[in-house]
A and B are shown apart, each in its own frame.
Chain A
Amino acid sequence: MSDDLHIEPTVRLTSVDENTTILEKDLDTEHMLVQMGPQHPSTHGVLRVELLTDGEVIVKATPHLGYLHRCFEKHAENIDYPGIIPYADRMDYLASMNNDLGFAVTMEKLMGIEIPERIDYMRIIVSELNRIASHLVAVGTYAIDLGAFTPFLFCFRDREHILNLLEWLCGARMLYNYIWIGGVSHDFPPKFKERVLEFVRYFKPKAREIYRLLTENEIFVQRTRNIGLLPADVAINAGASGPMLRGSGVKWDLRRNDPYSLYHELEFDIAVPDGKASVIGDCLSRHLVRAIEIEESLKIIEQCIDKMPDDPNFDPHATVPKRVKPKAGEIYGRTEAPRGELGFYVVSDGKGTKPYRCKARSSCFVNLSLLGEMAKGQYLADVVAIIGSIDIVLGEVDR
């Protein structure tokens, strides 16, 4: 290594005009500019957060994205509609079924395809299983960010069971390509429903245990209570959705308020914190919302298995169109992914099998924009707690 290996700070100097002062130069001797860099154990992926700190207190936090940008929208304009499903999988890779479901539901609305009830129930079962798996990762990694190493392994042990079930179903553990436009790719194997019920029965006490393991731990509560407060009106204005919004006390769940698939026929509660264990809008509320949602998803799965019609001559590809060629039109379809509102804005020009425009409105992208607001005035150690409670998956943030 020679001495002339001098790297120009390219990124720091670009801005639209001279008055943009977002990237402060490191001249102020009282404030320290720290990069919680792209490689960091607790940013849940490649996210760079630029922190301006006054000792341990954060003065300004600016997230920088784009490290995992894989041009989902540009790909989608060059691939026919069924081929977009694997790309949609890879956005929020911890909850792939929900991404697929969002896209499939949107396209079915646009084209007016009607699907049999059994397909709907199958889709809901796998989506809720995936929601549980995703929330287990969220809870586990949140615990490990705060130093509690053991709940992480308990959560992953149970997640293994779910991944095994889904592998039995469609062959893949994490990125499924299972929910297609107009149907699903495989029927349930024999005895699948019984196994899922077995899992639900096994997991119910464990879900309670995971909830109590962290909520009744004084140190955990002290690290998350009253940290990263997000008032409800700021949350709504900034477009937060999912557990972020429900953690601030707003009872808004797209499965209830804007139902799709068969959610209007199922009974489940919307988890909203009541302010007793936590302050409404803080990190602990969001964590509690996720922990309770696991239990609600178990209820949904049980009901679906109960209600699912049995059909001996069932063909999962019966209503899958041979060529997906929607007429000219546009639609914004949204579903409740584990992290919030996942929306697809699809424009079809009616001339071919490829979309004219397909935008994915990702929940984490919008939720992450609130980091700057929430981290102001908090301690450096709290930034980790706040990022963990937003529960981001960089694949969805950057698409």
Chain B
Amino acid sequence: MSEENQSNEPKKKLSPALAARLEAMKKKKEGEEASGEASEPKAKPSKLSPALAARLAAKKTQKPGQETSSETKAEEPAKDPEPHEIAYNIIKEEFGDAISDLDNNPHMPFFEVNEKSFWPSIAYFMRTDSRLKFNFLSCLSGIDYDDGRLGIVCNLDSIDEHGHKLSVKVNCTKEDAHIPSVAEVWLTADWHEREAYDMYGIVFDEHPDMRRILCPDDWEGYPLRKDYQVQEYYHGIRVPY
């Protein structure tokens, strides 16, 4: 498998500009963490009422053995690294600058993959490393960022093993809409990637069966893109009515 080869070879050198940017981001992140604040989340954590906080605390004590995901947590003063942070740090250790920093928002903590060619090896590592064991891919959605970028968002889970959750984003541009496929790592990705191709036009390289899944095979255009114009006629039938 090409993914295995990639993880054994030395990592590709990043371009100097990109490397500098990543360094700056990392420094900023370290500086923020030192001062004890969380990095800027996309949505602020909501203030919990005492009742809800008590319910969630009760929920945690009822399942002591299982590490729950980091959903909305009450603001606790002591910052034990949450399970997904530990997982992220392991991945960061392995791949370094190929992935971005962890966006630790309370709803859906995620990190982005900067170098999309590393994506299959990251995926394989996340699935097979014994400390991570992300064996369940919940969902792989395509998304159109409306600024010339397309991307996918993968929600990963570790069921029956560690119980941590993490999400990964991989981006590409509209002109070069190619992302390497992880269908061999998680079978779920097979059909989800076909759907992303169908809806957004992202071609997944080395996918075993890259063709449309929901739209007919000879449909024109990629429906969920923000700039999608529906076709006039399909086999003689007028489409917009």
CB contact between B49 and one of A114, A252, A331 (< 8 Å): that residue: A114
Who on chain B is nearest to A117 by CB? B51
Q: Is A80 an interface residue (CB 8 A)?
A: no
Q: List residues of A (35-90) whose CB comes within 8 Å of B's CBs.
A: 65-66, 69, 71, 73-74, 77
Q: List residues of B (62-86) whose CB comes within 8 Å of A's CBs.
A: 62, 66, 68-69, 71-72
Contact assessment for B188 and A369 in the assembled complex, using a CB-CB cutoff below 8 Å: yes
Contacts of A365 in B (CB 8 A): 191
Type the 1/0 row for A221-249, where 1 means its CB is closer than 8 Å to any CB of B. Answer: 00000000000011011110000000000
Type the 1/0 row for B120-155, where 1 means its CB is closer than 8 Å to any CB of A. Answer: 000000000000000111110101100000000101
Type the 1/0 row for B96-134, where 1 means its CB is closer than 8 Å to any CB of A. Answer: 000000000101100000000000000000000000000
Decide if the interface of chain B is mainly helix, strand, loop or mixed: loop
Stretch of A121-129, A257-265, A292-300 with 4 or more beta carbons under 8 angstroms from chain B? A257-265
Contacts of B159 in A (CB 8 A): 236, 250, 252, 257
Q: Is A325 an interface residue (CB 8 A)?
A: no
Tell me, in angstroms, the Cα distance from A178 to B144 when the chains sit together: 31
Contact assessment for A236 and B160 in the assembled complex, using a CB-CB cutoff below 8 Å: yes
Q: Is A359 an interface residue (CB 8 A)?
A: yes
Q: Is B218 an interface residue (CB 8 A)?
A: yes
Contact assessment for B42 and A357 in the assembled complex, using a CB-CB cutoff below 8 Å: no
Contact assessment for A327 and B139 in the assembled complex, using a CB-CB cutoff below 8 Å: no
Tell me, in angstroms, the Cα distance from A221 to B125 when the chains sit together: 42
Stretch of A11-19, A92-100, A180-188, A375-383 with 4 or more beta carbons under 8 angstroms from chain B? A11-19
Stretch of B16-24, B172-180, B206-214 with 4 or more beta carbons under 8 angstroms from chain A? B206-214
**Given A237-B135, A257-B159, A334-B138: A69 in contact with B215 (beta carbons within 8 A):** yes
Tell me, in angstroms, the Cα distance from A20 to B206 when the chains sit together: 11
Q: Is A145 an interface residue (CB 8 A)?
A: no
Contact assessment for B136 and A359 in the assembled complex, using a CB-CB cutoff below 8 Å: no
Q: Is A328 an interface residue (CB 8 A)?
A: yes
Q: Is B38 an interface residue (CB 8 A)?
A: no
CB contact between B187 and one of A234, A332, A399 (< 8 Å): that residue: A234
Contacts of A71 in B (CB 8 A): 223
Contacts of B187 in A (CB 8 A): 234, 237-239, 369-370
Write the nearest CB–CB distance from A370 to chain B, whole angstroms: 8
Tell me, in angstroms, the Cα distance from A366 to B141 when the chains sit together: 13
Q: Is A220 an interface residue (CB 8 A)?
A: no
Contacts of A29 in B (CB 8 A): none
Contacts of A196 in B (CB 8 A): none
Contacts of B209 in A (CB 8 A): 20, 22
Who on chain B is nearest to A234 by CB? B187
Q: Is A341 an interface residue (CB 8 A)?
A: yes
Contacts of A258 in B (CB 8 A): 68-69
**Given A114-B49, A264-B59, A345-B153: A250 in contact with B160 (beta carbons within 8 A):** yes
Q: How many residues of A contact B (CB 8 A)?
A: 53
Write the nearest CB–CB distance from A102 to chain B, whole angstroms: 13
Q: Is A329 an interface residue (CB 8 A)?
A: yes
Write the nearest CB–CB distance from B180 to chain A, whole angstroms: 15
Q: Is A343 an interface residue (CB 8 A)?
A: yes
Contact assessment for A11 and B211 in the assembled complex, using a CB-CB cutoff below 8 Å: no
Write the nearest CB–CB distance from A226 to chain B, whole angstroms: 22
Q: Is B46 an interface residue (CB 8 A)?
A: yes
Contact assessment for A16 and B210 in the assembled complex, using a CB-CB cutoff below 8 Å: yes
Contacts of B43 in A (CB 8 A): 110, 326-329
Contact assessment for A252 and B160 in the assembled complex, using a CB-CB cutoff below 8 Å: yes
Q: Is A112 an interface residue (CB 8 A)?
A: yes
Type the 1/0 row for B212-239, where 1 means its CB is closer than 8 Å to any CB of A. Answer: 1111111000011000000000000000
Contacts of B136 in A (CB 8 A): 236-237, 239
Given contacts A341-B138, A345-B141, 16 further A-B contacts (CB under 8 A): A10-B217, A11-B217, A16-B211, A66-B214, A73-B199, A77-B224, A109-B72, A111-B46, A239-B136, A239-B137, A250-B160, A257-B163, A327-B44, A343-B138, A343-B139, A369-B191
A-B contact pairs, 29 of them (CB 8 A): A11-B217, A14-B217, A14-B218, A16-B210, A16-B211, A22-B211, A65-B214, A69-B214, A233-B135, A236-B135, A237-B188, A238-B187, A251-B160, A252-B159, A257-B159, A257-B163, A258-B68, A264-B62, A328-B42, A330-B153, A343-B138, A345-B139, A345-B153, A359-B139, A359-B141, A361-B138, A361-B139, A366-B191, A369-B187
